[in-house]
Structures are given as structure tokens and as C-alpha cells.
Chain A
Amino acid sequence: MYSDLAYLIVGLPVLAFVLCLFIGSRLPRGGGFLTVLATLGGLIISLGIFQEIYPRGIIHQSMRWFGDFNVGILIDPLALVMLLMVTFVVMLIHTYANGYMNGDPGANRYFAEAALFTASMLGLIYADNILQLFIFWELVGLCSYLLIGFWYRKPSAAAAAKKAFLTTRVGDVMFLAAIIVLYNNLASLNLTLNPGEYLLQFPVIYANLALIPPDQLTLIALGFLGGAVGKSGQFPLHVWLPDAMEGPTTVSAMIHAATMVTAGVYLVARMFPLFYAAPHGLTAVAAVGAFTALFAATMGLTAFDIKRVLAFSTVSQLGFMMAGLGVGAAVGAFSVGVSIFHLIGHSFFKALLFLCAGSVIHAVNTNDMREMGGVGKYMKWTMYTMLIGSLSLAGFPLFTGFFSKDEIIVIAYEYGVAINFLPYIFLVLAAVLTAIYTFRMWFSVFTGKERSNYGKHESPWVMLGPLVILAVFALAFGFVAQEGFYNYVGDNFGQYEEKFGVDVNFAELALIGGHEVLGEHGAPAEGEHPSAEAEEGHGAAGEGEAGGEEAEGEPWYIQILPIFIAIGGILIAALFYWDRAKKFDPSQVTGDKDPIRKMLLKGYYQHEIMTGWISEGIVYGTALICNTIDIKVVDGWLNWLSAWVMGFAGHVRKVQTGVVQNYVTALMLGIVVLVIAIAAIRLAMEVGLI
């Protein structure tokens, strides 16, 4: 019965959006409770659906829209876990926002936009075709623009909103192009579709992947990757993410944890069979992801703004997720389970960290960590919940991040054995840096002496409550859910056979993609896939890695390396930043003049390169050429045409003399001509000429 209400998961937030927009200003706190109730409703429906279809089952509802296109709802394991995560985390963020946004004159606008944001993300998740997904994808982009620029009177916020919008647009154009290429390819196959099947539906796409030429598949995969890179803030389109901190902290939490940025990873996961079949598709994903993970982590090391540290951390962790999907070339669809597990774990602890940061900022009234220090004395709850979040992010053993991030590192190792070690090396380095910058942040905020005079009070309970709940999840989710989760989501595509009769055969797709098919993981890797040998191989490996004991595959030192990474990183950070400058003064290691530090602080001068070279040089040059063409060619021929018409008319209008006598004469002559003509015709008829 819950599955019949699936449309309400999007419908309720949309309703909240409308209500907040129009009558929110007359409700207490801008109508924020409506958004909480709407997402709570979504969460309840999602939970109901979960208990209906777990462990096997897909819900699919669809109706014709126009032509070859449809609108519909597809809830498979992948979508379901995302729905649960988004409704749950967003509900907590909305609750928190009720406290955080209290007193802001635009609170009802905030809640309206936030509700629409939620609705778009949820719609994106359970869209059953790529076109519908794209529409919600764009809506998410729009809402992020509105929310980042929420304080639009602040020039930096308006600029950040514009930057986010334009940067993601670059990716979205590629995404749209990929959809068009995909549609053309599918349309040219002249498929006979059963009633209720439409061209761009995911099951139909999965079923016909093998019929599309491989080079076209690569083109499509790269387009999708471009969209994901823009949305998920991967290199080189990550520049908007740190700037997105200009919005309220709750917006940052929403964008970085639950909604916006996960959409890119979700897209790659959703189209995983396509990426798998496309030659070099997953290689590109792995390369982008692994590089971004390390690249962003280095920038996180030097940022002073507490929210920017978290922003770079998000970029880095998204790189982990992308890399986790990318190394699926070696381990098959199992990597979807691992990557999405990290996505969900990350959303818990990153939401927690952002909300903690918001709590600190709320009290201290600055974002700059150099002005904090010793905050822990006044904000016990915030300190301990943030400690849990930080430990989780750093991958401390038995915290959520430990199971999720380190599983990605382990499958990256398998990828290394099979194909290439580079992603593994990048990810390990990134993991070390993750632990360091996370605890650099935590130590500098909460330990030591006050470095400025700031407000000293704990936040209200409407803000602390969500922190505590999120902390519980950041602490325990990984430990509780890991194995079941990997297998449930990893088996996502295996379940299409019984529901749609679509056999997503990864062995066959691997042949198209030209992957090395490994005995252990490379074969169709879902637990209950018909292929028996793959089932055994996968089952053993999955349990082995997750439980920490290894049947075969990785040597023991690979297994325990992540533990040392996390603890080592935390120790390094403690050495420098615990009670700042008591043991080691960081300034003795690097000063303000240090070129490397400066480079990191400046984000590898990417802003300078983009505005300096690309914007001034290339864009301005192109604009100049376009301007010339516009004036000389486009306007040119039009101006010539109108000038000609004017000239001609200038001659013709002389006929209108304004002298009545002339008109009468012309009239009379006309009649004479007419009479002569009629007479001539009659004469000709009488003579018999006509």
C-alpha cells in the first residue's frame, strides 16, 4: 500500500513549497515545520516501501507523457536507499534550520526553496527515465542557485550563486548532449517496445546497451560523466563548491551531504551498466575521482574558513565515491554497493559536521578558525558530536567512515592488481590527508585558548537534537549496515531480471567495454545472479573485506593499512594543532611565504587561471569574434535589406502627391483603360479570337 503513495514522496515537499511560499510569512517561524512534516511523510512512505520490497523487489509505475517519452517512478534498491537517506537527513537539517533560520526576515522564502530543493532531489532519485531525471537535475541546480544566493544582498553570495549555476551548467550541457546521443542511438535501433515501455526508461536502456556501438557508448558515458563532474564538484568543475558556502549553513549541509552533490555520483551509479559497457568509461570515472580526492584534500589542509575545510572535504570524499564506481571495472556492480554506501555514510557524517560547524558559527559569529580555539569549553554537545563526525570522516576504526571509505580503498587495490595502481595510490594519500585536515579543524576549533572574544553559549536544543541523532548514525550506521548494504545495493541490477525480464549481464558488457574479466569479481558480481561461479566468488570476497578477515585476494597489510592511515593522520594533526603551538608551531614548518602553502591556499591558482587566462583571453577573444560576426554578418544583411526597402519606398511614395486632382486623373485614366480592355475583349470574343 505504501508503494501506491510513492508519488507523495515528491508531492509532499512540493506542497510544503507552495504553502511556505504563499502563506509562510504568516506562519510561525516562516512555516519551517511544514518542510519537516513533508520530509517526515516522505521518510515514513520510504520506510513503508522498504519493508514492502526488501530484500528483493522493484516498484515501477509509469505513464505516457508525449511521443516516446514517459513519466514514472522506479524504486529499485539503489533508489530506495537514496530515498531513505535523503528524506532522513534532510528532515534533520530542516529541523535544525527551524532554529538556525529563526528571526531571518526571509525565513519563509528559505523554507519554500529548501522544500523545492528536497522535492527535486527526491524526484531525481526515483525518476524512471533519463529525461525525467534530467528535468529534476536541472531543478536541483536552480534551487541550489536560489539557496546559495539566499542572502542575495551580499555581493559575494550573489556571485557564488552565479558561479555555482554557471559551472554546473557546463556539465549539464554535456549531460543533455549525452541524452540526445543516447536517444538517437536507441531510436535508430527500431526497437519493438511492449506497452508500458518507453525508449529512455532505464530498464530499456540497460536491455539494449549491447546493441549500441561501443564508440557511441563511450561518447554517452563521457557526457554523463561531464554532468556528474559538474554536479558532484569533481575536478575541474569543483570551483563552485567551496564558494557555495556563502549560503546559510543549513544550505551547505543540504548541498554537501544529502542532495545536490550526491546527484552526480547517483547518476554514474544509475548508469553503471552503461559506463561498464563503454570502453574507457569507468577508467575516466576512476581517474577523475581519484585525482579529485587527492587534489581537494590538499586544499582542505590550508583553508582557514571552517566551512571551506568541510567543502574541500566534500569534494575529496565525492572523489572517493567516483573512484569507487570507477574501479568497478575490476570488481563489477559490487562497487556500486560500496560507493553508494560511502555516499550514504558520508551524508550522515558530513551533514553532522556541517550542522556542528553551523552551531559553532551561530555562537561564535565567525567562520575563521584562527579566531576560534577553546570553543569546546562552552559547547560540550557540539564538541562531542563533531568529534564523532570527524572520527567518522577520518575513517577511525568502527566508525561509519571506516567501513565505507576503506572499502573503497580496498576495491581500488583490487583494481590496482587487475589494471592500474594509480587510483589506489591517490586514494591512500587522500585518506591520510583526510585524517589530518579533519583533525586540524577539530583541534583548532575546540582545543586551546580563545583567540578572540566571541559569544560563549551552547546552541538551542532544536539544533542540538539533529546533531545527536546524526551522531548516532555516523557512529553506528557503518557497523550495522555494511554487509547487508553492499549486497543489497550491489545486487541492484540483478533484480531487473525478475521485474522487467532485463538481464543486465555484466560479463557480456565487460566484453564490449574491453575489461579484464577477473575470476573473482569481474564476472557478473551480484549475489543472486544466475551465474553460479560469480556468486560464490563475490560472496566470499564481499564478506571477507567487510568483516575484516580475508578469504583470498588482498594481503593482510592492505586490510589493516586504513587503520594506520586514520590513526597516523590524527596523530600528525594532534602534534601540530592540539593546544595549538604548545608542542609544535605549524608556522615553524611553513610560513606565509611558503610557495606550496600559498598555492594550496589559492586553490592551485585555479581561480586566477580561470578568470585570468580563460575568461580574459579565450572568452574575451571569442566574444570579440562573435561580436564582429554579429555586427557584420547577422546584423549586416538585415540592415542592408531594410536600407534597400527604405530606398525603394522612398521612390515609390512620390506617387502619393497629396494633390486631389492627380488622384482623380489617375482614377479616370484607370476607368478609361478598364473600358478599353473590356471592349477589346468583347470584340475579340465576337470575332472569335478567344
Chain B
Amino acid sequence: MIPLELYILLASIMFTIGLYGLVTQKNGVKLMMCIELLLNSANINLVAFSAYQPNMNGQVFALFSIALAAAEAGVGFAILIALYRLYGTIDLDNINTMRW
């Protein structure tokens, strides 16, 4: 059986990559992908801990989390499409009309 530490290592690497992308990238689609990475790193943790314990709660939560991620992606991409229609770009640096 694969040791738990490896799962946690995988999850933290994914989380770090996601966070790095979130901070450095400007393209809206890339940001959405980074957010997926963050969410899925959390899902790996949930499933891994659940598998090492006689308890299915974690896996159930992972299912919820995937559903949530799907909904979030749906809304997010819809916003991005609307933005693209309006501005002709999805570079988030250019989309700042709502700030002061």
C-alpha cells in the first residue's frame, strides 16, 4: 500500500503549483485551471485520509467538493466568456473598471 506521506506530498505539490499559477498568471483561463488544482489537491487529501481510516466521510466530502468545483467552473467560464465579448481579452490586468 502506498504510504500516506506520498499522498500528502502529491497534494502539497499540486497546491503549491496552483498557488504559484494563481499569483503569477494573468490569463483568466489559466487562473481557473489553477483554482482546479487547489481544489483537487484538497480532494486528494480528503480521499487519502479517508482510505487510511475505516470511515467514508472524507470520500463523500470529496464528491461534494467535485460537484462544487464543477459549478464554480461553470460560473467562472461563463463570466470569462462575457468578459471576452465585452473587452475582447481575458487578460485580467486589463479588466479593472470596477476599482477606484
Report how far A658 CA is from B99 CA in the complex, Å: 6
Which residues in B have their C-beta under 8 angstroms from that of A668? 19, 23
Closest partner residue, chain B, to A665 (CB atom): B23
Partner of B100, one of A653, A659, A664: A653
0/1 interface trace, chain B 64-100, chain A, CB 8 Å (1 if under) = 0000000000000000000000000000110110111
Q: Say if the beta carbon of A642 comes within 8 Å of chain B.
A: no
Which residues in B have their C-beta under 8 angstroms from that of A656? 99-100
0/1 interface trace, chain A 168-204, chain B, CB 8 Å (1 if under) = 0000000000000000000000000000000000000
Report how far A512 CA is from B32 CA in the complex, Å: 94
Q: Say if the beta carbon of B22 comes within 8 Å of chain A.
A: yes
Q: Say if the beta carbon of A657 comes within 8 Å of chain B.
A: yes
Which residues in A have their C-beta under 8 angstroms from that of B55? none
Q: Say if the beta carbon of A654 comes within 8 Å of chain B.
A: yes
Which residues in B have their C-beta under 8 angstroms from that of A664? 19, 22-23
Q: Say if the beta carbon of B53 comes within 8 Å of chain A.
A: no
0/1 interface trace, chain A 643-669, chain B, CB 8 Å (1 if under) = 000000000011011111100110010
Residues 21-35 (chain B) with a chain A CB within 8 angstroms: 22-26, 31
Which residues in A have their C-beta under 8 angstroms from that of B99? 656-658
Q: In the complex, are the beta carbons of B19 and A660 less than 8 A apart?
A: no
**A654-B92 contact given A661-B22, A668-B19, CB 8 Å threshold:** no
Which residues in B have their C-beta under 8 angstroms from that of A665? 23
Interface size range on A against B: 10 to 19
Which residues in B have their C-beta under 8 angstroms from that of A659? 92-93, 96
Report how far A657 CA is from B26 CA in the complex, Å: 14
**A660-B100 contact given A665-B23, A668-B19, A668-B23, CB 8 Å threshold:** no
Report how far A658 CA is from B100 CA in the complex, Å: 8
Which residues in B have their C-beta under 8 angstroms from that of A661? 22-26
Closest partner residue, chain A, to B24 (CB atom): A661
Which residue, B23, B95, B98, has most C-beta atoms of chain A within 10 A? B23
Q: In the complex, are the beta carbons of B96 and A658 less than 8 A apart?
A: yes
Which residues in A have their C-beta under 8 angstroms from that of B22? 660-661, 664
B14 to chain A, nearest CB (A): 16
B41 to chain A, nearest CB (A): 14
B73 to chain A, nearest CB (A): 16
Which residues in A have their C-beta under 8 angstroms from that of B31? 660
Which residues in A have their C-beta under 8 angstroms from that of B93? 659
Closest partner residue, chain A, to B93 (CB atom): A659
Report how far A654 CA is from B26 CA in the complex, Å: 20
Residues 564-587 (chain A) with a chain B CB within 8 angstroms: none
Report how far A659 CA is from B98 CA in the complex, Å: 11
Report how far A349 CA is from B23 CA in the complex, Å: 98
0/1 interface trace, chain B 1-26, chain A, CB 8 Å (1 if under) = 00000000000000000010011111
Residues 611-669 (chain A) with a chain B CB within 8 angstroms: 653-654, 656-661, 664-665, 668
Report how far A658 CA is from B26 CA in the complex, Å: 12
A-B contact pairs, 10 of them (CB 8 A): A654-B100, A658-B95, A658-B96, A659-B92, A659-B93, A661-B22, A661-B23, A661-B26, A664-B22, A668-B23
Given contacts A656-B99, A658-B95, 10 further A-B contacts (CB under 8 A): A653-B100, A656-B100, A657-B96, A657-B99, A659-B92, A660-B22, A661-B22, A661-B24, A661-B26, A668-B23
Q: What are the 3 tightest A-B residue pairs by CB atom distance, in nearest-first order? A: A658-B99, A658-B96, A653-B100
